[in-house]
């Protein structure tokens, strides 16, 4: 506790500067507070949902307030959250690069954050699934492989049927994504757990050759083995005459995925439902 306070003091005394320049201490109005509360109940939202939420909060509480740009709005809230070791973090979905925002806890390990919602054996099931996902070539663990580990769980004994329901609970809470009976990490989990995963599985983690972020799903070079996120592949090869590995210059043997394009999105308008990308599992 003592340490926390000292750290907090140090943080408030230090001039808080970001790459963008000096960051003024934020002032939270009812608009910001409502936004934060609602984001908290969602845990993670896509950018379009975040914009909708922001609009909603201005409509309810700030009819006369000047509407802040989303980035300023979020920075403003983050400058207040800083002392609580919580942050609204921006990331992207691994499969198609749609921007997402999640409220993440910087102070505790994610597994202990989840502890209030899940029993010990359920958390251990999550850990087992996480390990299988991290160790896999594809970034996916099959439900069969996860369920085969239920006998090894810490805490109360769990049947396979129960374990299946627990896995669905992880999906509902946006820690896991399920595709055709296989599980991978939700972008919420990646945003929140990147540090934890890097520290816990230093030998198994994969990173993207382009953005250097943690990589769960992606494509890899068949010659030198480097990996890239699908959105990073799409961006990197967008203007290239032919796709060659950024590391060994060998021909890139995978299909270049189609990913989120903010300009196209704008053209399509906001009323149209999100087109689900075809599942890309090339490696
Ligand atoms: Zn990347
Ligand atoms: Zn290569």
Section 167-187 average pLDDT: 95
Ligand nearest to the CA of 220: 2
Give CA–CA dist 37/40, Å, rounded: 5
Give CA–CA dist 113/117, Å, rounded: 8
Distance 213 CA to ligand 1 centre (A): 6
pLDDT at 178: 97
Burial readout 89-105 (b: 16 or more C-beta within 10 A, e: otherwise)? bebbbbbbbbbbbbbbe
Give the residues across from 89 on adjacent strands. 102
pLDDT at 5: 46
Give CA–CA dist 132/121, Å, rounded: 17
Ligand nearest to the CA of 251: 2
Ligand nearest to the CA of 243: 2
Distance 186 CA to ligand 2 centre (A): 28
Model pLDDT for residues 54-69, shown as the tens digit of each residue: 999 999 998 888 899 9
Question: 55 or 4: which carries more pLDDT confidence?
Answer: 55
Distance 244 CA to ligand 2 centre (A): 8
Distance 185 CA to ligand 1 centre (A): 15
Distance 128 CA to ligand 1 centre (A): 25
Ligand nearest to the CA of 224: 2
Distance 70 CA to ligand 1 centre (A): 24
Distance 232 CA to ligand 1 centre (A): 5
* pLDDT above 90 (res 98): yes
Ligand nearest to the CA of 230: 1
Ligand nearest to the CA of 214: 1
Model pLDDT for residues 19-34, shown as the tens digit of each residue: 444 455 668 899 999 9
Distance 138 CA to ligand 2 centre (A): 18
Distance 161 CA to ligand 2 centre (A): 43
Distance 225 CA to ligand 2 centre (A): 6
pLDDT at 62: 80
**Burial (CB count <10 Å: 0-12, 13-18, 19+), residue 24:** exposed
Task: Choose among 255, 71, 85, 97: nearest CA to 190.
Answer: 97
pLDDT band at 262 (very low <50, low <70, confident <90, very high): confident
Distance 246 CA to ligand 2 centre (A): 7
Give the residues across from 206 on adjacent strands. 215
pLDDT at 25: 61
Model pLDDT for residues 192-246, shown as the tens digit of each residue: 899 889 999 999 999 999 999 999 999 999 999 999 999 999 999 998 889 999 9
Q: What percent of the chain is modeled with pLDDT above 90?
A: 67
pLDDT at 3: 44
∠ Cα 32 171 181 (to 5°): 150
3-class state of residue 257 by DSSP: coil
* pLDDT above 60 (res 107): yes
Section 90-106 average pLDDT: 93
Question: 4 or 96: which carries more pLDDT confidence?
Answer: 96
Cβ–Cβ under 8 Å, residues 183 and 189: no
Ligand nearest to the CA of 234: 1
pLDDT at 6: 46
Give CA–CA dist 133/149, Å, rounded: 14
pLDDT band at 109 (very low <50, low <70, confident <90, very high): low
């Amino acid at each position: 506790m003592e340490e926390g306070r000292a750290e907090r003091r140090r943080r408030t005394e230090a001039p808080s500067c970001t790459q963008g320049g000096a960051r003024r201490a934020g002032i939270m109005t009812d608009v910001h507070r409502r936004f934060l509360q609602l984001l908290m109940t969602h845990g993670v939202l896509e950018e379009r949902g975040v914009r909708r939420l922001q609009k909603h909060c201005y409509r309810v509480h700030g009819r006369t307030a000047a509407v802040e740009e989303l980035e300023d709005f979020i920075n403003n809230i983050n400058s207040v959250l800083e002392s609580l070791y919580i942050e609204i973090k921006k990331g992207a979905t691994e499969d198609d690069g749609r921007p997402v925002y999640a409220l993440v806890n910087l102070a505790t390990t994610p597994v202990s954050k989840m502890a209030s919602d899940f029993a010990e054996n359920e958390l251990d099931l999550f850990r087992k699934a996480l390990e299988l996902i991290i160790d896999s070539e594809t970034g996916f663990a099959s439900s069969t492989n996860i369920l085969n580990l239920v006998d090894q769980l810490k805490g109360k004994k769990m049947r396979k049927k129960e374990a299946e329901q627990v896995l669905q609970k992880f999906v509902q809470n946006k820690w896991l994504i399920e595709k055709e009976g296989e599980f991978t990490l939700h972008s919420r989990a990646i945003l929140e757990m990147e540090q934890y995963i890097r520290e816990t599985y230093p030998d198994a983690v994969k990173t993207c050759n382009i953005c250097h972020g943690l990589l769960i799903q992606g494509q890899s070079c068949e010659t030198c083995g480097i990996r890239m996120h699908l959105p990073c592949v799409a961006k990197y090869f967008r203007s290239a005459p032919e796709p060659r590995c950024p590391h060994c210059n060998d021909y890139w043997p995978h299909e270049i995925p189609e990913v989120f394009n903010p300009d196209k999105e704008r053209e399509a308008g906001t009323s149209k439902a999100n087109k689900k990308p075809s599942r890309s599992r090339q490696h």
